């Protein structure tokens, strides 16, 4: 291990300790009201490898997340998935988990009562038709990205199919540079969002690791949709928490009473350590994926 790598690892460990849940129980009790909504990311957060709710980071079977979910639902807490997945996927996921409400496609769709009520959230993008996905693709922005970033980006097949609002890509690019390129090419009404590392490889890309990326209308984000839901259903900020594992999840801290990063999210992206340390209401779990998710739920249920 080189000197810089060792220093980075030591800093990540330090942040993990100082921002751990166990060291911040007093803050949580002083700053949160009894929680009414738990906004949660799914992949890499609530569910483990291959999207399994009953597997931990090492693919061992575990019932801890299921027990935590049951405890939250029995207390009348709304566990609301917030995901990049599309609506059809999330209706089935929510139904199986006993949840009724969710936010799909990185904030563009707020879905209530398993689809009986849907609130479309397209930010600053003026639609030319009823089909948000088609309207975005028709601008030429997706073709622009695939041509300009050949061997760095591709569609995230098969998960990029059957989407209602946001094109889904995979690869590895510098976010700041790609969003600047969108602005310069006349596609400034859109933003490219990193939704985290994905544990797979692509033989058609020349990248060291794979991330899932969403192209969303400017003004739309997970945290913005969370705030929209809070306003729509009249929840106080202090009555809500959020749990996630990716760069796109960290801004949850702006609209939820507290945000919890599962440990694997920080380990997979150690560059987040400084930002986590700087945000008062952001904490890191000891457990990874579902075990960390359960740790958060158990904690908030035990505060009151």
**Tokens at residue 128, please?**
């030319």
- Give the pLDDT confidence score for residue 128 in this predicted structure: 62
Q: Rounded CA gap, 254 and 266, in Å?
A: 18
Strand pairing category for 168-171 and 153-155: antiparallel
Q: pLDDT (tens digit, 0 to 9) for every residue of the chain, 304 residues total?
A: 555 565 678 999 999 999 999 999 999 999 999 999 999 999 899 999 988 999 999 999 999 999 999 999 999 999 999 998 999 999 999 999 999 999 999 899 999 999 999 999 998 887 766 789 999 999 999 999 999 999 999 999 999 998 999 999 999 999 999 999 999 999 999 999 987 788 788 999 999 999 999 999 999 998 999 999 999 999 999 999 999 998 889 999 999 999 999 999 999 899 999 999 999 999 999 999 999 999 999 999 999 8
Q: Tell me, what's the pLDDT at 175?
A: 94
C-alpha pair distances (Å), 12 with each of 15, 28, 44, 270, 281: 5, 22, 19, 6, 17
State the pLDDT at residue 290.
97
CB-CB contact of 65 with 57 (8 Å): no
pLDDT at 129: 63
pTM over the 0.85 mark? yes
Q: Which of 208, 248, 206 is nearest to 226 (CA)?
A: 248
Q: Which residue, among 74, 78, 52, has the nearest Cα to 63 in the 3D structure?
A: 52
Cβ neighbour number for residue 161 with a 10 Å cutoff: 10
For the chain, the straight-line distance linking the first and the last C-alpha, in angstroms and rounded, comes to 45
The rounded Cα 50 to chain-centroid distance in angstroms is 16
State both tokens at 33: 């009201």
Residue 105 CB contacts under 8 Å (≥ 6 apart), including other chains: 83, 84, 85, 86, 87, 163, 164, 165, 166, 214, 216
Q: Residue 4: what pLDDT?
A: 59
Handedness of CA 107, 97, 62, 293 (dihedral sign): positive
Identify whether 299 is preceded by a cis peptide bond (ω within 30 of 0): no
The pLDDT value given to residue 304: 86
User: How high is the pLDDT of residue 94?
Assistant: 97
Encoded tokens for 186: 């006349």
Please spell the DSSP secondary structure of 225-289, one letter per residue: HHHHHHHHHT--GGGEEEEE-STTTGGGGGTSSEEEE-HHHHHH-GGGHHHHHH-TTEEE-SS-H
* 42 closest CA partner among 246, 263, 224: 246
Q: Cβ neighbours of residue 213 under 8 Å, at least 6 residues apart?
A: 153, 156, 168, 169, 170, 171, 173, 192, 193, 194, 195
3-121+221-302 belongs to CATH 3.30.930.10: no
Q: Which tokens is 11 given?
A: 């800093």
- Backbone region of residue 224 per phi and psi (left: phi > 0; alpha: psi in -120 to 50; beta: other values): alpha
Give the per-residue pLDDT at 27: 98
């Amino acid at each position: 291990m080189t000197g810089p790598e060792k220093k980075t690892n030591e800093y990540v460990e330090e942040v993990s300790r100082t921002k751990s849940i166990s060291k911040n129980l007093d803050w949580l009790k002083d700053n949160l009201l009894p929680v009414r909504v738990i906004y949660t990311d799914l992949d890499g957060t609530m569910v483990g490898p291959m999207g399994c709710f009953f597997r931990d980071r090492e693919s061992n079977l575990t019932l801890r997340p299921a027990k935590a979910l049951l405890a939250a639902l029995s207390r009348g807490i709304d566990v609301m998935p917030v995901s990049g997945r599309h609506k059809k996927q999330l209706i089935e996921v929510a139904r199986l988990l006993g949840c009724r409400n969710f936010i799909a496609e990185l904030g563009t769709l707020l879905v209530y009562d398993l689809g009986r009520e849907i609130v479309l959230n397209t930010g600053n993008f003026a639609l030319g038709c009823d089909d948000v996905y088609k309207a975005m693709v028709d601008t030429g922005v997706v073709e622009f990205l695939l041509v300009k970033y050949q061997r760095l980006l591709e569609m995230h097949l098969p998960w990029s199919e059957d989407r209602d609002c946001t094109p889904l890509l995979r690869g590895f690019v510098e976010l700041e540079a790609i969003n600047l390129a969108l602005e310069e090419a006349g596609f400034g009404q859109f933003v490219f969002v990193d939704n985290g590392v994905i544990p797979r490889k692509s033989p058609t890309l020349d990248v060291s690791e794979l991330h899932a990326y969403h192209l969303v209308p400017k003004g739309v984000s997970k945290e913005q949709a969370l705030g929209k839901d809070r306003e729509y259903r009249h929840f106080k900020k202090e009555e809500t928490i959020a749990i996630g594992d990716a760069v796109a999840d960290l801004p949850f801290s702006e609209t939820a009473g507290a945000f919890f990063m599962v440990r694997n999210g920080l380990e997979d992206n150690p560059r987040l350590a400084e930002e986590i340390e700087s945000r008062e209401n952001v904490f890191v779990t000891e457990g990874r994926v579902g075990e960390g998710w359960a740790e958060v739920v158990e904690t908030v249920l035990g505060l009151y």
